[in-house]
Structure 1
Amino acid sequence: MLRRLHPALLDSCHRLLGPRPVYFIGSTRCDGTPHLCAATNVTAISSSPTLVTVALWPEWETRDNILRHRRLSISLATSDQVPAVMVAGHRYTGRPLPPQSDKFSAAGLTPLLTEPDYPAGVANCIAVLLCDVLKVLDDLGDHDVLVTRVRSAWADSTCFSQDLVLDVNRRNPLLQITGQRFAAAQPTT
């Protein structure tokens, strides 16, 4: 039975929209080296053209890297990549990691460089999108919303039908319930 939540819980209502898929967000640092973070605030908002929003904390290095270069990669994580997600999202998960660390190496991930001048995606993910930033909404809340257009995409062809429907019997996307609690997308039948 549904019940109205106490107003003090309204700032936690985003959890009611979960679990949410986990993504690795790739960016490029000032010195040209790849950078990575983990995020769940990613949503497709248009099919033609394909537009995707990514919401990031303004204090994160990833956000600054993306705004500097106006490009990012989005890689859909798998259920076996929880340890790598914990490293890539080290600030959120409370894992110690020295500043300017190579998160790809620290997380045991392989960069996937697919196009010049675009940030590396993550090899062995289910799919990778390369995106250009179209707009930044930085006055709505505690996250900045980046509206992006997908320039190109890669997918694990063994996991998708020809019309790009994922077969979760083959690979399970990682879902974040909250904090360090995760689940795997599973088939219902």
Structure 2
Amino acid sequence: MADSLDLAHRLLAPRIAYLIGTKDENGTANLIPVSNLTSVSTKPQQVAIAVLKQWRTYKNLLAAEGFTVTVPTIDQLDSVWKLGARYSKSRVVDPVEKLASCGLELDRGASPFGPVVPSGIGWLSCRVVARIDLNGDHGITVGEVEQVWFNPEYLTAEGKPKDSVHPLMQQTGNLFTTSADARVAVEYY
């Protein structure tokens, strides 16, 4: 039973592997995949992310005024995996080298809080409004959305899918998936 408890988080998968952009106190940008993210308010728009405390991004979030969130596509898996250098065991862990060699075009000027990936499904720029430590191995940061961009290749100006959208989703570890091609709409009551 104790072994099963250590794996309980796997029941909550798959989850989108979001790219979290931050800057350190010297302004050095970093971008990592994180699947522990959820909307926690719609008025105002707020999201919460949980980041492993031993990662550079966690340290950045302790001092940063904000962060970015990009939603990558399944086609960007190889690049996203490279960005998760500490997790994927990539040899390139220095943020500058990692961002230069990941294979994604980055926009470093769209948000003051960190880089975004314009070829993704869309991105958010969030100002930090709360930091929460529940004494676990992850720290929680809540950000209020200040900017949102919907990639017109995938989404309408209202954020609705134009066709089937295939975000990169992590099942567990190095196992990834995406959504099905079928879209189903149901009538409101």
Return the TM-score normalized by structure 1.
Answer: 0.88
Cα pair distance change 1:99/1:77, threshold 3 Å: same
- 1:184 is matched with 178
Structure 2 SS opposite 1:92:
helix
> Following the alignment from structure 2 to structure 1, what is the Cα–Cα distance between the partners of residues 24 and 97?
11
Match of 1:139, as an amino acid? L
Cα drift, residue 114 of structure 1: 4.4
> Following the alignment from structure 1 to structure 2, what is the Cα–Cα distance between the partners of residues 128 and 149?
13
- 2:18 is matched with 23
- 2:166 is matched with 172
> Following the alignment from structure 1 to structure 2, what is the Cα–Cα distance between the partners of residues 21 and 78?
9
> Following the alignment from structure 1 to structure 2, what is the Cα–Cα distance between the partners of residues 151 and 129?
7
Do structure 1's residue 160 and structure 2's residue 155 form an aligned pair?
Answer: yes
> Following the alignment from structure 1 to structure 2, what is the Cα–Cα distance between the partners of residues 77 and 27?
16
Picking from 63, 67, 70, the partner of 1:72 is 67
Match of 2:52, as an amino acid? W
Picking from 122, 144, 149, the partner of 1:149 is 144
Do structure 1's residue 52 and structure 2's residue 47 form an aligned pair?
Answer: yes
Return the TM-score normalized by structure 2.
Answer: 0.88
What residue ranges of structure 2 are gaps of 5+ in the alignment?
Answer: 184-189
- 2:91 is matched with 96
- 1:61 is matched with 56
Q: How many residues align?
A: 183
Cα pair distance change 1:78/1:116, threshold 3 Å: closer
> Following the alignment from structure 1 to structure 2, what is the Cα–Cα distance between the partners of residues 182 and 127?
19
CA shift digits 1:154-183 (9 cap, x unpaired): 1112322453223452x4101111111111
What residue ranges of structure 1 are gaps of 5+ in the alignment?
Answer: 1-5
Structure 1 SS opposite 2:82:
helix
Structure 2 SS opposite 1:144:
strand
CA shift digits 1:9-56 (9 cap, x unpaired): 112111111110011110112332321111100101111111100100
Structure 2 SS opposite 1:66:
helix
Cα pair distance change 1:95/1:115, threshold 3 Å: closer
Structure 1 vs Structure 2 CA RMSD = 1.8
Structure 2 SS opposite 1:173:
coil
